[in-house]
Structure 1
Amino acid sequence: MSANRKPLPPIGWRELVHLPELGLHSVPAKIDTGARTSSLHGTVLAEFERDGEKYVRFAVDFERQHVRQVCEAVHVDIRGITSSNGETQRRYVIKTPLKIGDVEFRAELSLADRRDMRFPMLIGRSSLRRRFVVDSGYSWLQTPEMKVKKGHKP
């Protein structure tokens, strides 16, 4: 690391993240440096155009809380994304602000069926690069309210 670069903030293996433009706050996310692309649990409901731009409307279900949030975002692409089981799936990719701790940036997220996964969101290495350093021995390093609640110490 060069002398004039400030150290990157540490991030644990799981964090609560915020997607302010989608109206999603405190979303539990697993940090996964093995995945290139970040993904969000979302069921595509419709594709439409507004002011000449392609949009996608999708539902994010938080089954434990019995909550469904319907979101809309500009859709950037439909890509083949290889999942952890090695299968390639065609997924919608959106770009939206993502906030982790005090760091906010625009991130690309693929919309995937993560209903069988423990976390509704996965943060991949493209979103982490040059923004955070991962300390896999800890949780909630950028989520102070969870550290206090769960009794974790940095």
Structure 2
Amino acid sequence: MDKESAQPLAKAGSNPLATVGWREKVDLPELGLKSVPAKIDSGARTSSLHAIIIDQFARDGENFVRFAVDFGDQHVRQVCEAVHVDWRGITSSNGKTQRRMIIKTPLKIGTLTFRAEISLADRSDMKFPMLIGRSSLRRRFVVDSGHSWLQTPGMQPAVGHKP
């Protein structure tokens, strides 16, 4: 395969899509979260963030949620606030559907920042506190499942599955 045919597909006249690995570190700037380890999962529709709901409240006529994000391995808890945009039934990988709170907030992967819908869920049993679903990836990224950290500054791109 020549170099030109190996480029990601994009619409005519636009730039090729950026490539992400199967795991990346991402930022959620409005939540004050930086370098959050995230698993890229094109099988999941909605992105998900590990969160413990603390409070739901209204401010200036809008519904908000206050929640905590725990980074257990670093013994850090970050309390965040975001506009609560919806409740949705989300089916997890085990086939069970949970009613989850949805927020919409800027998400930064590499140099690209965009607004993403993110469900808040208990991911304490998961290796990654965040999962990036296909709605966030669509028309922005292609996934190279054989590599890691392709959009993560300061990380050495890794080949293969090295947890």
Give the TM-score band, short-chain normalised: over 0.9
Please list, as runs of the form range in 1=range in 2, the aligned pairs for 1:36-55 lying within 5 A after superposition. 36-55=45-64
Identity across matched positions, percent:
74
Aligned partners of 2:65, 2:82: CA distance in 1, in Å? 6
The corresponding residue for 1:108 is 117
Equivalent residue letter for 2:110: G
- What CA deviation, in whole Å up to 9, does each residue of 1:42-94 have, x standing for no partner? 01111000000000000000011111100000000111110110000011000
Count of residue pairs brought into register by the alignment: 150
Q: TM-score w.r.t. structure 1 length?
A: 0.95
1:12 aligns with 2:21: yes
1:119 aligns with 2:125: no
- The 1:70–1:3 alpha-carbon spacing in structure 2 relative to 1, beyond 3 Å, is same
Q: TM-score w.r.t. structure 2 length?
A: 0.89
Equivalent residue letter for 2:158: H
The root-mean-square deviation of aligned C-alpha atoms, in Å, is: 1.1
Structure 1 segments, 4+ long, off by >3 Å, are none
Structure 2: any 5+ residue segments left out of the alignment? 1-9
Equivalent residue letter for 1:54: N
Structure 1: any 5+ residue segments left out of the alignment? none
Give the CA deviation at 1:3: 3.3
The corresponding residue for 2:150 is 141
Aligned partners of 1:86, 1:44: CA distance in 2, in Å? 23
The corresponding residue for 1:64 is 73
Q: Secondary structure at the match of 1:55?
A: strand
Q: Secondary structure at the match of 1:107?
A: strand
